[in-house]
Amino acid sequence: MENRFKVINVTPRGFCKGVYNAIELAKQTRMDYPNEKITILGELVHNKDVVLALKSLNIHTIESKGKQRIDLLDDVLEGIVIFSAHGISPLVQIKAKNKGLKTINASCEDVLKTQDLINAYLEKDYDIFYIGQLGHPEAEASLDLDLNKVHLIQIGNELPKIDSKKIFVTNQTTMSILDIKNTIESIQTIYPYAIVSDEICSATRLRQEAILKLPESVDAIIIIGDKSSNNTKMLAKISRNRSIPTIIKIQNLGELDPKLLDQCHELAITAGASTPKFIIDEIVHFVNAYAIDPQIDKKDYSIHPFI
Ligand code: SF4
């Protein structure tokens, strides 16, 4: 039988180094402290399957939508607390130490680099324009570096009015490259003297650029990733900017409605930086088989544990 539609595997996709390192650090912590209670403050990376896999190692996650890390910490009473890949506020680190908790920091080095830059400009008495998302843990950690001098700029919102000529502009690492470019240009029209450092991480940039480079003939894209993953959401946003007619966002094979593929001619498949490879693989295997035979059953493409 011939393929009914073409499948394009977008690369890179799936785990970035920051996610990989955070998971390895959590696993190593369990090996180093086999009898200690280990708690992750917020999801280690934004993926429910990763959270479940860590639970199977007796590493528990505390997360509550809308609750900041500093408040989540109230529920950690003993043992080891792991800070997630998104970075952590200095206020949370101090509170954890004061509670007598042992701390392990799984912050991604790209997030730490942005925080170091912000600290360096704060020391020189700059105001910081931080382009990010209200409530995202990475933004929360950066804003906490100085609640008076770090100003959150949300996409599409009005810019703050600042008299100082000392302004440093930077951003959350997982934003849309197009949004960041436009927002930086807007800031520069009002504050032409602002110093700018675009800190979108290379994992986020490369995954978004790969979508922008897809052939015009691509008429559908599957984006695999957790609903709470910002870099995954941005892949969908870039696909909309790129005007791909059918955008299918799923967390796993179970969520895929194969009928959505029946009308497409060229289908691209990508995944956010916190999506485990086994989830991507099972979807890719299924879709390639479905392109040939629409009678196949999703149930035959099983999920395997990865941790
Ligand atoms: S998406 Fe970027 S900032 Fe986030 S963990 Fe991965 S490499 Fe680090």
> pLDDT digit string (tens) for 81-139?
999 999 999 999 999 999 999 999 999 999 999 999 999 999 999 999 999 999 999 99
Contact 110 CB / ligand 1 (< 6 Å): yes
Among the three residues 200, 231, 250, which one is the final residue of a domain in this structure?
200
Q: CATH code at 68?
A: 3.40.50.11270
Set 138, 140, 199, 282: catalytic member: 138
Measured by CA distance, the residue closest to atom 8 of ligand 1 is 18
What's the confidence (pLDDT) of residue 47? 93
Question: Is the CB of residue 173 less than 8 Å from the CB of residue 114?
Answer: yes
Contact 273 CB / ligand 1 (< 6 Å): yes
For residues 209 and 285, state if they share a domain: yes
Distances in Å between the Cα of 158 and the Cα atoms of 128, 151, 155, 183, 190 are 15, 12, 9, 10, 12
307 pLDDT above the threshold of 60: no
Q: Which of 151, 201, 150 is closest to 180 using CA atoms?
A: 201
Contact 16 CB / ligand 1 (< 6 Å): yes
Among the three residues 200, 229, 244, which one is the final residue of a domain in this structure?
200
The verdict on residue 170 lying in a domain is: yes
For the record, the structure tokens of 66 come out as 């809308």
What's the confidence (pLDDT) of residue 184? 98
Ligand 1: residue of 19, 207, 270 to mutate (most ligand atoms within 8 A of CB) is: 19
185: annotated active-site residue: no
Query: What's the N-to-C CA distance of the chain in angstroms?
Result: 37
Task: Provide the residue range defining the domain that includes 191.
Answer: 110-200
What's the confidence (pLDDT) of residue 177? 98
- Across all residues in the chain, what is the average pLDDT? 96
Dist CA 141 CA 196 (whole Å): 20
The verdict on residue 139 lying in a domain is: yes
For residues 155 and 188, state if they share a domain: yes
For residues 127 and 188, state if they share a domain: yes
The verdict on residue 270 lying in a domain is: yes
What's the confidence (pLDDT) of residue 304? 57
Instruction: Read off the pLDDT of residues 247-290 as tens digits, 9 standing for 90 and up.
Output: 999 999 999 999 999 999 999 999 999 999 999 999 999 999 99
Residue 306 pLDDT grade (very low, low, confident, very high; cuts 50, 70, 90):
low
Our count of domains for the chain comes to 3
172-195: average pLDDT: 98
pTM, two decimal places: 0.95
Contact 53 CB / ligand 1 (< 6 Å): no
The verdict on residue 306 lying in a domain is: no
What's the confidence (pLDDT) of residue 207? 97
Q: CATH code at 224?
A: 3.40.1010.20
